[in-house]
Amino acid sequence: MVDDRHGTDGVADETLDAVADALRTAETGVALTGAGVSTASGIPSFRGDDGIWERHDPADFHRRRLDADPAGFWADRLSLREAIYGDLDPEPNAAHEALATLESAGHLDGVLTQNTDGLHDAAGTDRVIELHGNHQRVVCDDCGDRRDAEAVFERAATDGDLPPRCDCGGIYRPDVVLFGESLPDIAMNEAQRLARDSDVFLAIGSSLSVRPASLLPKIAAEAGSTLVVINYEETPRDTEATHVLRADVTGVLPAIVERV
């Protein structure tokens, strides 16, 4: 295992070259992204020091809360949305754009993401598997109608329409995985298949501490994939990785793209 701990400028050229070579020769390349890819776009992290869950109680966003107190759930959800985004209109950063470039060049077969911000789509990545859903959508709990979240959140905030309801009478909910819910089977099954089939697996900006997504790099490594972990902090998968880069994802990913 090559372990680079000095930030973007300290990552050895030979390490960047090795990762680029692995991607260039891989039949199947896969990336898993976490909160560290979105923080450079101004989106705060949920975990860690001063994370969102330091200021908001995760229990308020449990599936049981939505069922028992949908109006209270939505009131807290509005507060959470304001805490995360406020006046921010986040845009893709250099890391999102680098991954989109790698995909368009044929070096990535898909991006698996734990993020719900939709920025990989906005950057132009075609195959994005959203493991935790997408906060830009809402879905009716009864009929399954999906629509853009902005108008529904605006209605809830402006008119006090809590909980917001679908035309069928059902309650809209954010189209994300709530506490107490399992990840979508279709998304998780596809992610596991890609991990097993990958020749190179990039785990980027994720603490790799939240199951079951955190197991995907392990699945890839056990299947013989070249595992590359790019994260400032240590992760549980570092010992299984071929390369560990302690680097800014917005710097190191474009540097890899230049070498592929």
Annotated binding site: 35, 39, 46-47, 114, 116-117, 132, 140, 143, 166, 168, 206-207, 231, 248-249
β-pairing, 226-230 vs 172-176, is: unpaired
The verdict on whether 135 is a catalytic residue reads: no
Q: Which of 107, 120, 132, 243 is catalytic?
A: 132
Question: Of 206, 234, 250, 244, which Cα lies nearest the Cα of 31?
Answer: 206
Question: Of 209, 258, 253, 257, which Cα lies nearest the Cα of 230?
Answer: 253
Question: Of 171, 210, 183, which Cα lies nearest the Cα of 65?
Answer: 171
β-pairing, 133-140 vs 146-148, is: antiparallel
Please report, in range form, the residues annotated as the binding site for Zn(2+): 140, 143, 166, 168
The DSSP code for 93 is -
Helix axes 149-159, 70-85, angle to 10 degrees: 110
Please report, in range form, the residues annotated as the binding site for nicotinamide: 46, 116-117
Q: What is the largest CA-CA distance in the chain?
A: 59
At 178, phi and psi to the nearest 5? -85, 160
> Which sequence positions are flagged as catalytic?
132
